Every structure is written in C-alpha cells, then in structure tokens.
Structure 1
Amino acid sequence: MSASNDLRPRPLLPAGVPRSSRGLLAAVSALLAVVALGDLFAVFAGARIHMLIDGDDAFATAPQQELDAAYSLYETAGNLQAMTYVPCAVLFVIWFFLMRRNTGLLAPDRFRNGPGWAIAAWVIPLANFWMPYRIAVDMWGASTPLPDDDEPHRTSIWPVNLWWGLFVFSALFGRYAASRYDDAETLAQVQDAVAQYMAADILDLAAAAAAVYFAVRLTTMQRLKASQGPYRKADLG
C-alpha cells in the first residue's frame, strides 16, 4: 500500500506496540549505579593522594611507601572505572536503540532518521557529541502523552538537557584531566591533575544519576503513551 492510500498519521499496529522491558531498564540503572560507585571510589583514592602532598610546598607529607600505596590504589580505581564503564555503555546503547524503535512506532513523524542511527550516532566522531541528544529529544517528544480535550501536553525536556550536558562536559573534562595527569612531572602538577580528575569523576557520577532519571522518565512516558489510543493495547508487562 502506498503512502497516499493510507492517510492515518498513527495507524493501528498489527502486533501492538512492543513492550518496554522493565528488566532491561533495571539492568541499565544497576550498571549506571555501579559506574557511579566506581567514580566515588576514584574520588576517595584521589583525595588520599591529594592529602599526602602538601599544597603550598608540594612535597610528600608521608613516607614513599605510603605514597606508592596511594598511587596504586588510584590506578586500581581507574581500572575499575574502565571495567564498569564499557559494559554499561554497551547496555545503555542497546536500551537507547530499543527505545528509539518503540517510540518510532508511537510517533514516526517525530523522527528524521531511521532507528539504526540510535546506534550509529554514538560511534561517529564529532557527531556523537550532538546526534544522540537530538534522537533523545525526538524520543522524548514522541513519548509525550496524547492531547486531552484538544489541549496538547507540554512536557519539559530538562531531564534530557541535564543528562546530556553532564555527560558531554564530564567526558571532555575527564580527557583534559587525564592529559594533565599523564604530563605531570612534579608533585605540584600531580596534585593539580588529581584535583581536576576528582572534579571530572564527580561530574561523571552526576551524569550517571541523571542518566538513570532520564531513562526511567522516558520509559514511563513511553509505556503510558503506548497504553493510550489510537494504538492496539499491547502487553506492557
């Protein structure tokens, strides 16, 4: 059937709107919580190094053995962050793609690109600083409840803005702090770099919390929208 023969903007779906998995949302939220705990551990390890270096004279205030132990703990914290971040990122992108696919069935007119871009947008250099955000905004709009008495709902997108702003800023600031730490040659430079790393970890922790809130809100909105007409009622689990 051609598009000209079907003028309904949101037709009934043959198999209903796919359910939004609460299990996947719970798994994503749990991994984001683990990432946040890793950030908290890194802040603790960084604070230990920072306190072992005198801020004014930039010399070690503890024996070399204790300072080496603090460096070792800090390196362990960094390794744990890397180990938890990768599976969390993979699962989050899977959830992001499935949400894009489902919300696309609710309001296909809201999107400019196909569902595959919900994955590709994350791996294209430079574009990955903007395209996922645009897709998230489109998903948010597509999940907005249907109008009541011809009055459209106006749902603020601040959760999307907060999550994406924290995510991008923490990523960029983290890279800057990493370069400062790698280039540090004196204790004073190490102390400054660690302080910046701690700030980046706190930002990343906040971004993880904002991501959980964004994911829960979007999933809740999508499930509510799917339970309304003109769609066939699906098993929402």
Structure 2
Amino acid sequence: MLCSLCGARPASTADGRCAMCTGFHREGERVRPVPVPAGLYHLRSPVALGRVVCVLLGSVAVADALSIASGVHARLLLGDRTEDGYATVDDLTWTHAEALYQSTGALQGLTLLATAVVFLIWLRRVRRNAEVFDPGAHSMRPGWAIGAWFVPIGNLWLPYRVVRDVRTASELPGTPGGRSAFPGVLLHAWWVALVAAQLFGRYASRRYEAAETLDEITDALDLVAFSDVLDIVAAVLAVLLVRGLTAMQGERATLGPLAVG
C-alpha cells in the first residue's frame, strides 16, 4: 500500500503514511539534519546545466520554426501549377528552395544532438541528487537516467519513469504535488508531446523521402511541418520541466537529509 499522504512511497505506519511523511507530521518533534558519512552526501547544483539546456531547447524550437518556414516556402512554389498539373517553378528556383529546406533540416539535427547531450548530463545530475533526497522513491537505479533512452521500445516509457521518480524524490516532504514547481500534468504532457513528435517525425521523414509526385511532395511537406510543430511544443514543455525540477531541487536541498528527533 502506498502512503496515504504523498501516494509515492510504501506506507510504514498504522495510519498509512510513509517514513518520510511521518517525520514531517509528528507533533511535538523537531526535524533536524542527519550527519552524513563522508563520501555519501554529494548534492550538486543543477542550475547552470539547467540554464544551458533551456538555451539549447530554445535553439531547437528556432530550428523547427525555420524548417516550417522553408517548408511553407517550398510548398507555395509547388502550388503554382499549369492546367496540366505541372509546377510552374523553374529548376533553379526549386533547387535553391530544396537546398534551403535540407539546410534547416541539418540545423535541426545539430541542435537536437547538442541539446540531447547536455540534457542527459543535467538529468544524470538531478537523478543523483534525488537519490540523496529520497532513495526509496526510485523504481530504477541511477544509471538508467542515461541508459533508459537507449533501450529499443523501452525508451517509450522508461525515461518517463526516471523523471517521474526524480520529481517525486525532489518534492518537499508532506506537500506532494500541491506546491510543486512542475505539476504532474505537465510531466505527462511533456512526455506525450516528446514521444508523439519523435514517432510522427520519423513517419513524416519517410513520407518525404519516398515522395515522387507533386501531390506526394506537398503532402509530405505538410506532415513534416506538423511534426515540427509537435517538436516545438515538446521543447517548450521540456523547458518547463528543466526549470521546474531544478527549482524543486533547490528548495529540497535546503532541508538536506532529514530525520526525526
């Protein structure tokens, strides 16, 4: 049975509360820091990394917007057709438009790669901090903060579990969700948007690569543009995630490891 107060950890008392929440609600007792053996207490600030991740996520959104703009430009060029259905755009103009579209796609790839690397470094740090805050809140070992993203099929939900557990461990004890800097509904929305953007983006890219006729190309351009919109939504929600979890850990770190006494 889970704790009746936080709903995240196993209940350990007769009234259905976990050990951590019980420590914050015993009347007449004080909460004090626990002396931690050397080498075990390694909280590290995620603030600087979080700021870099947010800037990089912004660059991802900008690259997506440029891709949408270049795609719309290419689509408009193909929209002007003769009565026989042939595009009126000349070869040189189309070659330049296609080169621009491919360039924005390359920019998307570069910004995404840089963002992914720094995001994983940030996630590894907040996961380790969360291990200090509440070791019992995690369903997966710390190494999964990075490894979960590289498991085929499993990467559709394992990284979400890692982030969810980090959020749970980073909450102020006794106030689960209510005063969180990153509400659970936003966590769910971020993950849905991220998975949708990745899956739909792959589908749209395949459609574009396989397109041969004018109609197939214009349809594929529309699909890629929609996947870029999903990617922008996921990037915005990721910024909220990074800022929220970073702020939560800043608050939680002021308490340190706690005990009742």
Of structures 1 and 2, the larger Rg is shown by 2
1:44 aligns with 2:69: yes
Does structure 2 retain, via aligned residues, the 8 Å contact 1:42–1:198? yes
Counterpart of 2:186 (choices 159, 163, 173) is: 159
Task: Specify the SS of the correspondent of 2:171.
Answer: coil
Which residue type is aligned with residue 36 of structure 2? Answer: L
Quote the offset at 1:228 in angstroms.
2.1
Counterpart of 1:194 (choices 194, 214, 221) is: 221
Q: Which residue of 2 aligns with 1:34?
A: 59
Quote the offset at 1:63 in angstroms.
2.1
- Give structure 2 stretches of 5+ with no counterpart: 1-18, 21-32
Give the Cα separation in 1 of the matches to 2:177 and 2:76: 52
Q: Which residue of 2 aligns with 1:5?
A: none
Give the Cα separation in 1 of the matches to 2:258 and 2:42: 7
Name the TM-score, length of structure 2 as normaliser.
0.79
Which residue type is aligned with residue 116 of structure 2? Answer: A
- Give structure 1 stretches of 5+ with no counterpart: 1-7, 233-237
Using a 3 Å threshold, how does the CA distance of structure 1 residues 229 and 31 change in structure 2: closer, same or farther?
Answer: closer
Does structure 1 retain, via aligned residues, the 8 Å contact 2:133–2:257? no
Task: Specify the SS of the correspondent of 1:53.
Answer: helix
Task: Specify the SS of the correspondent of 2:248.
Answer: helix
Does structure 2 retain, via aligned residues, the 8 Å contact 1:35–1:205? yes
Counterpart of 1:85 (choices 95, 112, 117) is: 112
Give the Cα separation in 2 of the matches to 1:152 and 1:207: 25
Counterpart of 1:169 (choices 196, 201, 221) is: 196
Which residue type is aligned with residue 36 of structure 1? Answer: A
Which residue type is aligned with residue 104 of structure 1? Answer: E
Quote the offset at 1:224 in angstroms.
0.3
More helix per residue: 1
Counterpart of 2:36 (choices 6, 13, 33) is: 13
Q: Which residue of 1 aligns with 2:102?
A: 75
Runs of 4+ in 1 over 3 A off after TM superposition: 8-17, 55-59, 151-156, 229-232
* Structure 1 vs Structure 2 CA RMSD: 2.2
Deviates more, 1:107-116 or 1:15-24: 15-24
Name the TM-score, length of structure 1 as normaliser.
0.86
